[in-house]
Structure 1
Amino acid sequence: MTLTPAADTRACVDTDHPAIRAEGVTKRYGRTVVVDDVHLDLPLGGVTALIGPNGAGKSTLLSIVGRLLTADGGRVTVTGLDVATTRSDELAKRMAVLRQENHLDIRLTVRDLVTFGRYPHSKGRPTADDLEHVEKALHYLDLDHLADRFLDQLSGGQRQRAFVAMVLCQDTDVVLLDEPLNNLDLRHAVSMMGRLRDAARELGRTVVVVVHDINVASCYADTIVAMRDGTVAACGSPADIMRPELLEEIYGLPVRVHELDGQLIATYYG
């Protein structure tokens, strides 16, 4: 089988009002095309996982959707708003973004960091309602006991959870997370994905995550977007994507897919 870009990735959704729409999105660095004419609709609600090998364009596409990067061509809308032209303060009430790398030059406590998530609403003057959102986010990510600790006193995994709490505290319709499982051990990675799935289902959020582990995507995502060489190779449910012939073409190695307790799990061998 020769892998070609998905002919109509809009088949990922069956609505005229997707949460995210990419139309002909392209990004180049010099002569290298890292995102190549991507057309994609992502559904409202649920968890969408972007998967693919290194260099597939996953993080670049997510960064363009989150307005962290400017596309060289095409257009992206989030809940109907053009990310290139919408005012930042308005967009920040609809979409929250967690970068892959987060560095701060000031010393903050966990509670201070999470409170930053309310800035689009509070403009730096948090109300009682804002503070209630902060406490809920701390509790949601199991950070109550770390709330008054400084970030530089935490492990990498604890800091990562604090940044995710900040993003959820922003209380947006759409949440974009670039490799949120970085620095997390197995227990906290499982807990994190469970929390994100709960946020999508119980809080009505649209959560889009870049993940490297295709089994995480299979177990926790409602929709999977598989990328390779800057294009969308396939998009659909875990059952649509977790097929050996498709995964072999995307990752370039033999794959077997097994059903375990109702979940589709891939194993690799060479």
Structure 2
Amino acid sequence: MVGIKGVFKNYNQKRVIDDVSLTIEKGKITSFIGPNGAGKSTLISMISRLITKDQGEITIDGKEVTETKSNDLAKKISILKQSNAINLRLTIRELVSFGRFPYSQGKLKKEDWDKVDEAIDYMELRDMQDRYLDELSGGQRQRAHIAMIIAQDTEYILLDEPLNNLDMRHSVQIMKTLRKLVDDLGKTIVIVIHDINFASCYSDQIVALKDGQIVKQGPTCDVIDECVLKDIYDMDMDIKTINDQRICVYFG
């Protein structure tokens, strides 16, 4: 369980996270939604300790993240940020193997390579695993980075807009893969996502943020609500139920 209590964060005297408290349950997909500048990426970065909080408490399984050794934290929680450029000429397989560093310290054993192979197969990258990253499309590189996170084999997975650069087919593939990681392997996934229909169809819990504060949090059915979404996005949305999924129509 991830516990967040009374967390604040300022940038250049501007408050971007304002007294946020929430609990992220184990074994579920929790999606952070909200407009640009809502604080979603900042919050997920503080959970992973990439950004330091100014005030408050963030715990993973009851232990404050700031008191956890870096290598121990890397075995517990993995994160993929929006900006994931690597300035090395690597193949997909070499990149994915980086996910095993917390365990192998660069000296991979058979069990490490088994995890690499599993992650490559999860993301349907087997046929191109020896291609270099600079030869790939943006979507292929994104899938390779997600495979690296899967190979890290942490209980908690944090993903900041993982559907960037992906077409519809691969976006669906990513979300189905995340659902499988939760349902089959018991992972806990926190995802920052802009497409509220993907959030609606694949999440167990949704946290809606605006101006650094939580507007609404809870089960998907409680947050995918016309009044709630109007408050978050300042626009009208019509919600339809299609195949038992709540779908937001906002093109009109």
The two structures have a TM-score, normalised by structure 1, of 0.92
SS in 2 for 1:22: strand
1:15 — aligned with what?
none
What is the one-letter code of the residue matched to 2:19? D
Distance 2:231 2:87 in 1: 43
Residue of structure 2 aligned with 1:42, choices 7, 11, 24: 24
Distance 1:113 1:226 in 2: 33
User: Residue 242 of structure 1: CA displacement?
Assistant: 1.0
- Tell me the C-alpha RMSD between the 2 structures: 0.9
1:127 — aligned with what?
109
2:233 — aligned with what?
251
1:199 — aligned with what?
181
User: Residue 238 of structure 1: CA displacement?
Assistant: 1.3
1:1-270 correspondence to structure 2 within 5 Å: 19-268=1-250
Q: What are the ranges of 5 or more consecutive residues in structure 1 without an aligned counterpart?
A: 1-18
Q: What are the ranges of 5 or more consecutive residues in structure 2 without an aligned counterpart?
A: none
User: Residue 30 of structure 1: CA displacement?
Assistant: 2.0
Aligned residues: 252
Percent identity among equivalent residues? Answer: 47
8 A Cα contact 1:114 1:165, kept in partner: yes
What is the one-letter code of the residue matched to 1:162? A
What is the one-letter code of the residue matched to 1:27? K
What whole-Å deviation, never above 9, does each CA across 1:48-107 have from its counterpart, x for those lacking one? 100001111000000100111011111111222311121000111100010111111211
User: Residue 31 of structure 1: CA displacement?
Assistant: 2.2
The two structures have a TM-score, normalised by structure 2, of 0.98
Distance 1:110 1:268 in 2: 37
8 A Cα contact 1:253 1:269, kept in partner: no
Distance 2:132 2:240 in 1: 44
What is the one-letter code of the residue matched to 1:157? G
